[in-house]
Amino acid sequence: MELRLPGAALLLCLADVLQAFASKERGEGFRRGACPAFLMFDNAAYLADMTFELPCHCKPQEVSSVTWYFQEKMGSHRTTVLTDFAGTVLVDSSHVGRGSTVLQRFSIRMFSLIVFRAQVTDSGHYLCGTEEGLYFYGYDVDVQPTRHIRVTFVDRGQHVGHDYTTKLFRLFTTFWDWSQCDRCGVRGEQRRIGLCYLRSAQLHPRYRTALPNVTSCGSRAVPAHFQHPIHLRSPEVAIRSCLTSCPKEEVPEEDTQAISNIIASLGERPWQPRVPTQFHRESVGSSLVLTCPGARPEHAVAWDWGSVRLYRSRYLRGINATMRIFIDHGNHLHLQRVQVGDRGTYYCWLQGRLVAGFRLSIVHPARRWRAFGDPETIYAAKAIGTSYGLITIVFIIIHLCRCLWRVLRDPARK
Report the distance separating Cα 192 and Cα 295, nearest Å. Answer: 16
Report the distance separating Cα 350 and Cα 184, nearest Å. Answer: 10
List pLDDT tens digits, range 60-114: 777 777 888 888 876 666 788 886 544 434 344 444 444 445 566 788 887 888 8
Do 142 and 123 form a contact (C-beta atoms < 8 A)? Answer: yes
The residue among 33 and 297 whose pLDDT is bigger is 297
* CA-based nearest residue to 30, from 128, 139, 115, 108: 128
Q: Is 358 exposed, middle or buried (0-12, 13-18, 19+ CB in 10 A)?
A: buried
Report the distance separating Cα 261 and Cα 271, nearest Å. Answer: 9
Average pLDDT for 138-151: 89
Whether the predicted pLDDT of 181 surpasses 50 = yes
Report the distance separating Cα 45 and Cα 235, nearest Å. Answer: 11
Instruction: Report the pLDDT value the prediction gives residue 196, as an integer from 0 to 100.
Output: 92
Angle in degrees, CA 137, 140, 143, rounded to 5:
140
* CA-based nearest residue to 293, from 334, 253, 331, 327: 331
Do 184 and 245 form a contact (C-beta atoms < 8 A)? Answer: yes
Instruction: Report the pLDDT value the prediction gives residue 378, as an integer from 0 to 100.
Output: 77
Report the distance separating Cα 210 and Cα 203, nearest Å. Answer: 13
What share of the chain in percent tops pLDDT 70?
76
Average pLDDT for 206-235: 86
Average pLDDT along the chain: 78
Give just the sign of the alpha carbon dihedral 405, 406, 412, 413.
positive
Angle in degrees, CA 359, 362, 367, rounded to 5:
150
pTM of the model: 0.64
DSSP string for 217-248: TT-TTS-GGGHHHHTT---EEEEEEEE-PPPT
* Sequence-ordered list of residues with C-beta below 8 angstroms from that of 203, at least 6 positions apart, any chain: 209, 213, 215, 219, 221, 222, 223
Q: How many CA atoms lie within 13 A of 356 on its CB side?
A: 15
Instruction: Report the pLDDT value the prediction gives residue 390, as an integer from 0 to 100.
Output: 92
Average pLDDT for 223-232: 80
For residue 334, what are the β-bridge partners?
289, 326
Average pLDDT for 151-165: 88
Instruction: Report the pLDDT value the prediction gives residue 259, as an integer from 0 to 100.
Output: 44
Instruction: Report the pLDDT value the prediction gives residue 95, as an integer from 0 to 100.
Output: 42
Instruction: Report the pLDDT value the prediction gives residue 396, as an integer from 0 to 100.
Output: 92
Whether the predicted pLDDT of 17 surpasses 70 = no
Taken in order of first residue, the domains within the chain and their CATH numbers are 41-144 (2.60.40.10), 150-242 (no CATH), 277-367 (2.60.40.10)
Q: How many CA atoms lie within 13 A of 26 on its CB side?
A: 20
Do 290 and 328 form a contact (C-beta atoms < 8 A)? Answer: no
Which letter, b or e, does each residue of 302-337 get, where b requires 16 or more Cβ atoms within 10 Å of its Cβ? bbbbeeebbbbeebbbbeeeeeebbbbbbbbbbbee
Amino acid letter for position 377? T
Whether the predicted pLDDT of 168 surpasses 80 = yes
Whether the predicted pLDDT of 262 surpasses 60 = no
Backbone phi, psi, residue 383, to 5°: -65, -45
Report the distance separating Cα 33 and Cα 268, nearest Å. Answer: 61
pLDDT band with cut points at 50, 70 and 90 for residue 142: very high
Give the single-character DSSP code of 403: H
Give the single-character DSSP code of 33: S
Do 362 and 342 form a contact (C-beta atoms < 8 A)? Answer: yes
Give the single-character DSSP code of 212: T
Whether the predicted pLDDT of 149 surpasses 80 = yes
Do 119 and 48 form a contact (C-beta atoms < 8 A)? Answer: yes
Question: What is the Cα gyration radius of the chain?
Answer: 30
